[in-house]
Copies of this chain bind each other. A is one copy, B any other.
Amino acid sequence: MKEQDLCCEEACVHPEHIEAAKSHMPDEDSLFSLAELFKVFSDSTRIRIMCALADEELCVCDIADLLGVSQSAISHQLRLLRASHLVRTRREGKSVFYSLDDHHVHSILREGLDHIGHTSKGREENENV
């Protein structure tokens, strides 16, 4: 049989814990949106773009030059960032300037850096993924 895998069909599950956990779970839509948001943060090119924009706006070719990535690749990534409301644009003549669109970008990056700072300190033991 194979309905829901039926692992630990009796004793092991803790129904009261499951109910408690269920009660404070965000709704499905939020969970999906959350994953989508962090997906945007999950590529180092996009992270580098956001870091580059941390202090001031830059045009597309500035970013491409700064990161050593092709204009096309940058443009594709900027599109994703914009779709997630993480950057905004301002046109000035032929150039388009991008800047961060949300204070959460800073907070999220900071929390992330904080985490990797902590984990890299004294816990190199289980790097064997």
Contacts and interface: CB of A to CB of B under 8 A. Distances in A.
Nearest to A120: B33
Interface string A48-65: 100111111011111011
A91 interface: no
A116 interface: yes
**Which residue among A43, A46, A66 has the maximum number of chain B CB atoms within 10 Å of its CB?**
A66
The interface size bin for chain A is 35 or more
- Do most interface residues of chain A lie in helix, strand or loop, or is the interface mixed? helix
23 contacts: A7-B65, A12-B94, A13-B62, A14-B59, A14-B62, A17-B56, A17-B62, A18-B65, A18-B66, A21-B54, A21-B62, A25-B48, A25-B51, A34-B44, A34-B116, A37-B115, A38-B42, A80-B129, A82-B126, A84-B119, A85-B115, A104-B112, A108-B112
